[in-house]
Protein backbone atom coordinates (compact mmCIF):
# COMPACT_ATOMS: atom_id res chain seq x y z
CA UNK A 1 0.00 0.00 0.00
CA UNK A 2 2.97 2.36 0.54
CA UNK A 3 3.49 2.20 -3.24
CA UNK A 4 0.21 4.11 -3.72
CA UNK A 5 1.47 7.02 -1.58
CA UNK A 6 4.49 7.93 -3.75
CA UNK A 7 4.91 9.21 -7.27
CA UNK A 8 4.73 5.77 -8.93
CA UNK A 9 1.38 5.23 -7.16
CA UNK A 10 0.13 8.64 -8.23
CA UNK A 11 1.16 8.03 -11.80
CA UNK A 12 -0.58 4.70 -11.73
CA UNK A 13 -3.76 6.12 -10.17
CA UNK A 14 -3.90 9.05 -12.55
CA UNK A 15 -3.55 6.81 -15.60
CA UNK A 16 -6.14 4.46 -14.13
CA UNK A 17 -8.40 7.47 -13.66
CA UNK A 18 -7.84 8.61 -17.23
CA UNK A 19 -8.65 5.16 -18.56
CA UNK A 20 -11.75 4.91 -16.36
CA UNK A 21 -12.97 8.34 -17.47
CA UNK A 22 -12.38 7.42 -21.09
CA UNK A 23 -14.31 4.19 -20.71
CA UNK A 24 -17.11 5.94 -18.82
CA UNK A 25 -17.39 8.63 -21.47
CA UNK A 26 -17.35 6.05 -24.25
CA UNK A 27 -19.99 3.87 -22.67
CA UNK A 28 -22.23 6.74 -21.57
CA UNK A 29 -22.07 8.46 -24.93
CA UNK A 30 -22.57 5.26 -26.90
CA UNK A 31 -25.53 4.21 -24.76
CA UNK A 32 -27.20 7.62 -24.74
CA UNK A 33 -26.38 9.07 -28.12
CA UNK A 34 -26.61 6.00 -30.32
CA UNK A 35 -30.26 5.11 -29.52
CA UNK A 36 -31.25 8.79 -29.81
CA UNK A 37 -29.66 9.15 -33.21
CA UNK A 38 -31.12 5.83 -34.30
CA UNK A 39 -34.59 6.92 -33.34
CA UNK A 40 -34.17 10.21 -35.24
CA UNK A 41 -33.13 8.33 -38.37
CA UNK A 42 -36.12 6.02 -38.20
CA UNK A 43 -38.57 8.83 -37.74
CA UNK A 44 -40.54 9.52 -40.93
CA UNK A 45 -39.34 6.42 -42.79
CA UNK A 46 -41.87 4.31 -44.60
CA UNK A 47 -42.57 0.84 -43.06
CA UNK A 48 -41.62 -0.98 -46.25
CA UNK A 49 -38.23 0.58 -46.33
CA UNK A 50 -37.59 -0.41 -42.71
CA UNK A 51 -35.46 -3.46 -43.41
CA UNK A 52 -33.22 -1.74 -46.02
CA UNK A 53 -32.45 1.34 -43.96
CA UNK A 54 -32.39 -0.23 -40.53
CA UNK A 55 -28.77 -1.41 -40.61
CA UNK A 56 -27.54 1.74 -42.32
CA UNK A 57 -29.26 3.99 -39.81
CA UNK A 58 -27.96 2.11 -36.84
CA UNK A 59 -24.38 2.07 -38.18
CA UNK A 60 -24.49 5.81 -38.73
CA UNK A 61 -25.83 6.43 -35.26
CA UNK A 62 -23.16 4.28 -33.72
CA UNK A 63 -20.45 6.10 -35.66
CA UNK A 64 -21.65 9.45 -34.40
CA UNK A 65 -21.76 8.19 -30.84
CA UNK A 66 -18.30 6.62 -30.93
CA UNK A 67 -16.66 9.69 -32.54
CA UNK A 68 -18.23 11.97 -29.94
CA UNK A 69 -17.00 9.64 -27.19
CA UNK A 70 -13.50 9.49 -28.65
CA UNK A 71 -13.36 13.29 -28.80
CA UNK A 72 -14.47 13.60 -25.17
CA UNK A 73 -11.97 10.91 -24.08
CA UNK A 74 -9.09 12.63 -25.86
CA UNK A 75 -10.00 15.95 -24.25
CA UNK A 76 -10.18 14.40 -20.78
CA UNK A 77 -6.97 12.41 -21.19
CA UNK A 78 -5.11 15.49 -22.49
CA UNK A 79 -6.25 17.60 -19.54
CA UNK A 80 -5.23 14.90 -17.01
CA UNK A 81 -1.84 14.33 -18.67
CA UNK A 82 -1.11 18.07 -18.87
CA UNK A 83 -1.87 18.48 -15.20
CA UNK A 84 0.36 15.57 -14.28
CA UNK A 85 3.19 16.67 -16.58
CA UNK A 86 3.15 20.16 -15.07
CA UNK A 87 3.31 18.81 -11.52
CA UNK A 88 6.24 16.54 -12.44
CA UNK A 89 8.09 18.84 -14.78
CA UNK A 90 8.32 21.88 -12.45
CA UNK A 91 10.37 20.31 -9.64
CA UNK A 92 12.39 18.19 -12.06
CA UNK A 93 13.35 21.24 -14.13
CA UNK A 94 14.42 23.04 -10.95
CA UNK A 95 16.52 20.02 -9.96
CA UNK A 96 18.07 19.88 -13.43
CA UNK A 97 19.00 23.59 -13.32
CA UNK A 98 20.42 23.27 -9.80
CA UNK A 99 22.47 20.18 -10.79
CA UNK A 100 23.93 22.05 -13.75
CA UNK A 101 24.78 24.99 -11.47
CA UNK A 102 26.52 22.68 -8.95
CA UNK A 103 28.42 20.99 -11.79
CA UNK A 104 29.59 24.47 -12.80
CA UNK A 105 30.90 25.06 -9.24
CA UNK A 106 28.01 26.95 -7.60
CA UNK A 107 27.71 24.82 -4.43
CA UNK A 108 25.33 27.29 -2.76
CA UNK A 109 22.45 25.98 -4.92
CA UNK A 110 19.43 24.55 -3.04
CA UNK A 111 16.00 23.45 -4.31
CA UNK A 112 12.61 23.65 -2.51
CA UNK A 113 11.72 20.29 -0.91
CA UNK A 114 8.09 20.31 0.23
CA UNK A 115 6.12 17.17 1.07
CA UNK A 116 7.32 13.62 1.48
CA UNK A 117 7.01 12.07 -1.97
CA UNK A 118 9.94 10.76 -4.04
CA UNK A 119 10.56 14.11 -5.74
CA UNK A 120 10.73 15.91 -2.37
CA UNK A 121 13.08 13.18 -1.08
CA UNK A 122 15.25 13.58 -4.17
CA UNK A 123 15.31 17.36 -3.61
CA UNK A 124 16.36 16.85 0.02
CA UNK A 125 19.13 14.42 -1.02
CA UNK A 126 20.31 16.95 -3.59
CA UNK A 127 20.40 19.70 -0.94
CA UNK A 128 22.41 17.47 1.40
CA UNK A 129 24.87 16.64 -1.36
CA UNK A 130 25.29 20.34 -2.27
CA UNK A 131 25.84 21.20 1.41
CA UNK A 132 28.53 18.54 1.78
CA UNK A 133 30.25 19.70 -1.38
CA UNK A 134 30.16 23.27 -0.07
CA UNK A 135 31.68 22.19 3.25
CA UNK A 136 34.42 20.12 1.66
CA UNK A 137 35.34 23.02 -0.64
CA UNK A 138 35.49 25.30 2.40
CA UNK A 139 37.72 22.78 4.22
CA UNK A 140 39.93 22.50 1.13
CA UNK A 141 40.32 26.28 0.96
CA UNK A 142 41.12 26.49 4.66
CA UNK A 143 43.69 23.72 4.28
CA UNK A 144 45.35 25.49 1.35
CA UNK A 145 45.36 28.79 3.26
CA UNK A 146 46.89 27.09 6.34
CA UNK A 147 49.55 25.27 4.32
CA UNK A 148 50.49 28.47 2.50
CA UNK A 149 50.65 30.33 5.80
CA UNK A 150 52.84 27.66 7.42
CA UNK A 151 55.14 27.55 4.41
CA UNK A 152 55.35 31.33 4.22
CA UNK A 153 57.26 32.02 7.47
CA UNK A 154 60.19 29.62 7.04
CA UNK A 155 60.46 30.38 3.32
CA UNK A 156 60.69 34.13 3.87
CA UNK A 157 63.27 33.61 6.64
CA UNK A 158 65.34 31.43 4.30
CA UNK A 159 65.00 33.93 1.47
CA UNK A 160 65.95 36.87 3.73
CA UNK A 161 69.04 35.11 5.06
CA UNK A 162 70.21 33.91 1.63
CA UNK A 163 69.75 37.37 0.06
CA UNK A 164 71.51 38.95 3.06
CA UNK A 165 74.43 36.55 2.60
CA UNK A 166 74.60 37.31 -1.12
CA UNK A 167 74.67 41.07 -0.38
CA UNK A 168 77.20 40.38 2.39
CA UNK A 169 75.03 42.04 5.05
CA UNK A 170 74.50 38.70 6.83
CA UNK A 171 77.70 36.83 7.72
CA UNK A 172 78.09 33.29 6.47
CA UNK A 173 78.90 32.02 9.97
CA UNK A 174 77.73 29.03 12.05
CA UNK A 175 74.95 31.10 13.64
CA UNK A 176 73.41 32.01 10.27
CA UNK A 177 73.83 28.45 9.01
CA UNK A 178 72.04 27.21 12.14
CA UNK A 179 69.07 29.46 11.31
CA UNK A 180 68.97 28.13 7.73
CA UNK A 181 69.15 24.59 9.06
CA UNK A 182 66.37 25.22 11.62
CA UNK A 183 64.01 26.65 9.00
CA UNK A 184 64.76 23.82 6.56
CA UNK A 185 64.05 21.30 9.31
CA UNK A 186 60.80 23.10 10.05
CA UNK A 187 59.77 22.83 6.40
CA UNK A 188 60.65 19.12 6.26
CA UNK A 189 58.72 18.49 9.46
CA UNK A 190 55.70 20.33 8.10
CA UNK A 191 55.71 18.22 4.93
CA UNK A 192 56.13 15.00 6.94
CA UNK A 193 53.38 15.95 9.42
CA UNK A 194 50.97 16.97 6.67
CA UNK A 195 51.52 13.70 4.84
CA UNK A 196 51.07 11.70 8.04
CA UNK A 197 47.95 13.65 9.08
CA UNK A 198 46.47 13.06 5.65
CA UNK A 199 47.25 9.34 5.67
CA UNK A 200 46.08 8.91 9.26
CA UNK A 201 42.79 10.76 8.72
CA UNK A 202 42.03 8.68 5.65
CA UNK A 203 43.01 5.43 7.40
CA UNK A 204 45.89 4.84 4.96
CA UNK A 205 48.59 4.18 7.57
CA UNK A 206 49.86 0.67 7.98
CA UNK A 207 49.45 -0.70 11.49
CA UNK A 208 50.68 -3.99 12.87
CA UNK A 209 48.65 -4.68 15.97
CA UNK A 210 50.25 -6.81 18.64
CA UNK A 211 50.18 -7.15 22.42
CA UNK A 212 52.30 -4.43 24.03
CA UNK A 213 53.18 -4.58 27.71
CA UNK A 214 52.58 -1.08 28.97
CA UNK A 215 54.74 -0.83 32.14
CA UNK A 216 58.02 -1.21 30.24
CA UNK A 217 56.70 0.68 27.19
CA UNK A 218 55.70 3.72 29.25
CA UNK A 219 58.93 3.58 31.23
CA UNK A 220 60.93 3.68 27.96
CA UNK A 221 58.85 6.66 26.83
CA UNK A 222 59.52 8.44 30.11
CA UNK A 223 63.26 7.84 29.76
CA UNK A 224 63.21 9.36 26.29
CA UNK A 225 61.57 12.60 27.51
CA UNK A 226 63.34 12.82 30.86
CA UNK A 227 66.24 15.05 29.70
CA UNK A 228 63.84 17.64 28.24
CA UNK A 229 61.59 17.53 31.28
CA UNK A 230 64.59 17.98 33.57
CA UNK A 231 65.85 20.89 31.44
CA UNK A 232 62.48 22.58 31.92
CA UNK A 233 62.36 21.70 35.65
CA UNK A 234 59.24 19.60 35.11
CA UNK A 235 58.75 16.25 36.84
CA UNK A 236 57.72 13.31 34.68
CA UNK A 237 56.20 10.25 36.39
CA UNK A 238 54.73 6.94 35.16
CA UNK A 239 52.01 4.92 36.86
CA UNK A 240 50.82 1.64 35.38
CA UNK A 241 49.61 -1.65 36.87
CA UNK A 242 52.03 -4.56 36.63
CA UNK A 243 51.80 -6.51 33.35
CA UNK A 244 48.98 -4.41 31.77
CA UNK A 245 48.84 -5.35 28.05
CA UNK A 246 47.35 -3.25 25.24
CA UNK A 247 46.65 -4.27 21.65
CA UNK A 248 48.48 -1.68 19.54
CA UNK A 249 51.19 -1.00 16.97
CA UNK A 250 54.19 -0.12 19.17
CA UNK A 251 55.64 2.38 16.65
CA UNK A 252 52.31 4.15 16.09
CA UNK A 253 51.47 4.18 19.80
CA UNK A 254 54.95 5.65 20.36
CA UNK A 255 54.24 8.45 17.87
CA UNK A 256 50.92 9.22 19.56
CA UNK A 257 52.48 9.41 23.04
CA UNK A 258 55.39 11.48 21.69
CA UNK A 259 52.92 14.07 20.38
CA UNK A 260 50.99 14.18 23.67
CA UNK A 261 54.17 14.46 25.74
CA UNK A 262 55.62 17.15 23.42
CA UNK A 263 52.49 19.21 24.01
CA UNK A 264 52.53 18.61 27.76
CA UNK A 265 56.17 19.74 27.94
CA UNK A 266 55.47 22.88 25.88
CA UNK A 267 52.51 23.89 28.04
CA UNK A 268 53.81 22.99 31.50
CA UNK A 269 55.84 25.72 33.23
CA UNK A 270 58.91 25.11 35.38
CA UNK A 271 58.06 23.38 38.64
CA UNK A 272 55.07 21.60 37.06
CA UNK A 273 54.26 17.89 36.79
CA UNK A 274 53.48 15.54 33.95
CA UNK A 275 52.03 12.10 34.64
CA UNK A 276 51.98 9.27 32.14
CA UNK A 277 49.52 6.65 33.36
CA UNK A 278 47.60 3.60 32.18
CA UNK A 279 44.69 1.69 33.66
CA UNK A 280 42.32 -1.02 32.60
CA UNK A 281 38.65 -0.16 31.91
CA UNK A 282 36.68 -3.32 31.14
CA UNK A 283 38.11 -4.76 27.93
CA UNK A 284 39.92 -1.50 27.15
CA UNK A 285 43.03 0.26 28.34
CA UNK A 286 43.17 3.99 28.99
CA UNK A 287 46.58 5.62 28.60
CA UNK A 288 46.63 9.23 29.79
CA UNK A 289 49.07 12.11 29.69
CA UNK A 290 48.18 14.65 32.39
CA UNK A 291 49.96 17.91 32.97
CA UNK A 292 49.74 20.76 35.44
CA UNK A 293 50.07 23.35 32.68
CA UNK A 294 47.93 26.32 31.69
CA UNK A 295 45.05 24.19 30.37
CA UNK A 296 42.79 24.82 27.38
CA UNK A 297 39.75 27.14 27.43
CA UNK A 298 36.46 25.18 26.98
CA UNK A 299 35.64 26.94 23.69
CA UNK A 300 38.88 25.63 22.16
CA UNK A 301 38.80 22.10 23.59
CA UNK A 302 36.39 20.55 21.02
CA UNK A 303 38.63 21.74 18.16
CA UNK A 304 42.13 20.78 19.30
CA UNK A 305 42.14 17.55 17.25
CA UNK A 306 41.45 19.49 14.02
CA UNK A 307 44.31 20.06 11.61
CA UNK A 308 46.15 23.37 12.12
CA UNK A 309 44.04 24.26 15.16
CA UNK A 310 45.94 26.13 17.85
CA UNK A 311 44.27 27.26 21.03
CA UNK A 312 47.04 29.79 21.54
CA UNK A 313 48.47 30.58 18.07
CA UNK A 314 51.05 33.13 19.26
CA UNK A 315 52.64 30.79 21.78
CA UNK A 316 52.43 27.73 19.53
CA UNK A 317 54.21 29.56 16.72
CA UNK A 318 57.11 30.61 18.91
CA UNK A 319 57.39 26.94 19.95
CA UNK A 320 57.36 25.87 16.30
CA UNK A 321 53.96 24.11 16.43
CA UNK A 322 51.84 23.83 13.30
CA UNK A 323 48.72 22.46 14.99
CA UNK A 324 49.11 19.03 13.38
CA UNK A 325 50.31 16.92 16.31
CA UNK A 326 46.91 16.13 17.82
CA UNK A 327 45.29 15.52 14.40
CA UNK A 328 48.03 12.95 13.75
CA UNK A 329 47.59 11.43 17.24
CA UNK A 330 43.85 11.07 16.66
CA UNK A 331 44.25 9.53 13.18
CA UNK A 332 46.94 7.08 14.34
CA UNK A 333 44.90 6.04 17.39
CA UNK A 334 41.79 5.45 15.31
CA UNK A 335 43.85 3.46 12.80
CA UNK A 336 44.69 1.13 15.72
CA UNK A 337 41.01 0.75 16.59
CA UNK A 338 41.04 3.22 19.48
CA UNK A 339 39.88 6.74 20.30
CA UNK A 340 41.32 9.88 21.84
CA UNK A 341 39.82 12.11 24.52
CA UNK A 342 40.75 15.48 25.93
CA UNK A 343 39.80 17.15 29.21
CA UNK A 344 41.13 20.37 30.60
CA UNK A 345 40.64 22.92 33.35
CA UNK A 346 42.15 26.29 32.49
CA UNK A 347 44.77 27.23 35.04
CA UNK A 348 45.01 23.67 36.39
CA UNK A 349 46.10 21.47 33.51
CA UNK A 350 45.03 19.08 30.78
CA UNK A 351 44.61 15.35 30.32
CA UNK A 352 44.82 13.70 26.92
CA UNK A 353 43.82 10.05 26.85
CA UNK A 354 44.22 7.25 24.34
CA UNK A 355 41.75 4.38 24.71
CA UNK A 356 42.74 1.11 23.02
CA UNK A 357 41.61 -2.52 23.29
CA UNK A 358 43.20 -4.57 26.02
CA UNK A 359 45.32 -7.56 24.92
CA UNK A 360 44.95 -10.20 27.60
CA UNK A 361 47.17 -12.71 25.82
CA UNK A 362 50.19 -10.38 25.63
CA UNK A 363 53.37 -12.11 24.52
CA UNK A 364 56.89 -10.89 25.24
CA UNK A 365 57.07 -7.15 26.00
CA UNK A 366 57.54 -4.79 23.05
CA UNK A 367 60.14 -2.15 23.73
CA UNK A 368 60.42 1.16 21.87
Query: Of ligand ATP, Mg ion, none, which one sits near residue 291, judging by CB under 5 to 8 A according to partner kind?
Result: ligand ATP
Closest contact distance (angstroms) between CB of 136 and ligand ATP is 21
Closest contact distance (angstroms) between CB of 234 and Mg ion is 16
* 268: DSSP letter: -
Query: Of ligand ATP, Mg ion, none, which one sits near residue 205, judging by CB under 5 to 8 A according to partner kind?
Result: none
Phi, psi of 117 (to 5 degrees): -80, 180
- Helices 325-335 and 250-267 cross at an angle (nearest 10°) of 150
Contact 261, 325 (CB under 8 A): no
Q: Toward ligand ATP, which CB reaches closer, 247 or 252?
A: 252
Closest contact distance (angstroms) between CB of 329 and ligand ATP is 7
Which residue from 218, 264, 356, 359 is in contact with ligand ATP, where contact means CB under 6 A? 264
346 binds ligand ATP per the rule CB under 6 A: no
Which residue from 73, 244, 267, 359 is in contact with ligand ATP, where contact means CB under 6 A? 267
Q: How many CB atoms lie within 10 A of CB 339?
A: 13
Contact 231, 202 (CB under 8 A): no
Q: Toward ligand ATP, which CB reaches closer, 183 or 193?
A: 193
In this structure, are strands 284-291 and 245-248 parallel, antiparallel, or unpaired?
Answer: unpaired
- Total of residues contacting ligand ATP (CB under 6 A): 23
Which residue from 29, 263, 277, 336 is in contact with ligand ATP, where contact means CB under 6 A? 263
325 binds ligand ATP per the rule CB under 6 A: yes
Q: Please, what is the end-to-end C-alpha distance for the chain in angstroms?
A: 64
Q: Toward ligand ATP, which CB reaches closer, 57 or 324?
A: 324
Question: Which residue has the closest beta carbon to ligand ATP?
Answer: 325
Which residue from 296, 356, 358, 362 is in contact with ligand ATP, where contact means CB under 6 A? 296
Question: Per residue in 65-87, is it b (16+ CB within 10 Å) or e — as a string?
Answer: beebbeebbeebbeebeeeeeee
Which residue from 211, 254, 321, 338 is in contact with ligand ATP, where contact means CB under 6 A? 321
Which residue from 198, 219, 220, 312 is in contact with ligand ATP, where contact means CB under 6 A? 312
Query: Site residues for ligand ATP, window 170-229 (CB under 6 A)?
Result: 193
Query: Of Mg ion, ligand ATP, none, which one sits near residue 267, judging by CB under 5 to 8 A according to partner kind?
Result: ligand ATP
Closest contact distance (angstroms) between CB of 248 and ligand ATP is 20
Query: Of Mg ion, ligand ATP, none, which one sits near residue 312, judging by CB under 5 to 8 A according to partner kind?
Result: ligand ATP
Q: Toward ligand ATP, which CB reaches closer, 150 or 249?
A: 150
H-type alpha helices, the chain: 7-42, 50-103, 118-166, 174-201, 214-231, 250-267, 313-318, 325-335
Q: Mark the segment that binds ligand ATP (CB under 6 A) among 2-10, 114-122, 129-137, 320-328.
A: 320-328
Contact 345, 355 (CB under 8 A): no
Alpha carbon distance 278, 253 (integer Å): 13
333 binds ligand ATP per the rule CB under 6 A: no
Alpha carbon distance 355, 341 (integer Å): 8
325 binds Mg ion per the rule CB under 5 A: yes
Phi, psi of 298 (to 5 degrees): -55, -30
Closest contact distance (angstroms) between CB of 349 and ligand ATP is 7
DSSP secondary structure of 73-95: HHHHHHHHHHHHHHHHHHHHHHH
**Alpha-carbon torsion 185, 188, 189, 190, what sign?**
positive
57 binds ligand ATP per the rule CB under 6 A: no
3-state SS class at 163: helix
Residue 344 C-alpha from the chain's centroid: 27
**Alpha-carbon torsion 359, 365, 366, 367, what sign?**
positive
Residues that bind Mg ion (CB under 5 A): 263, 325
Residues that bind ligand ATP (CB under 6 A): 193, 259, 263-264, 267, 291, 293-294, 296, 304, 309-312, 316, 321-327, 350
Amino acid sequence: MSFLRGWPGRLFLSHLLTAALTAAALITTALLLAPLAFRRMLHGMMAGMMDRFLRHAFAQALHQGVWAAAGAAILLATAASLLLARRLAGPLARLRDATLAVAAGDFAQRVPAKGDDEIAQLARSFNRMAEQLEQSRKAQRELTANVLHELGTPLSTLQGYLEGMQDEVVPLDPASLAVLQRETRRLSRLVRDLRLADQAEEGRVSVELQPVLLPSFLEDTRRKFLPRAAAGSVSLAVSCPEGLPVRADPDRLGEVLDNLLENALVHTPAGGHINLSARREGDQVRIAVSDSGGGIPPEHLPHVFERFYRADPGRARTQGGSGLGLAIAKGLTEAQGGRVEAASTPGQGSTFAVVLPCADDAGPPQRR
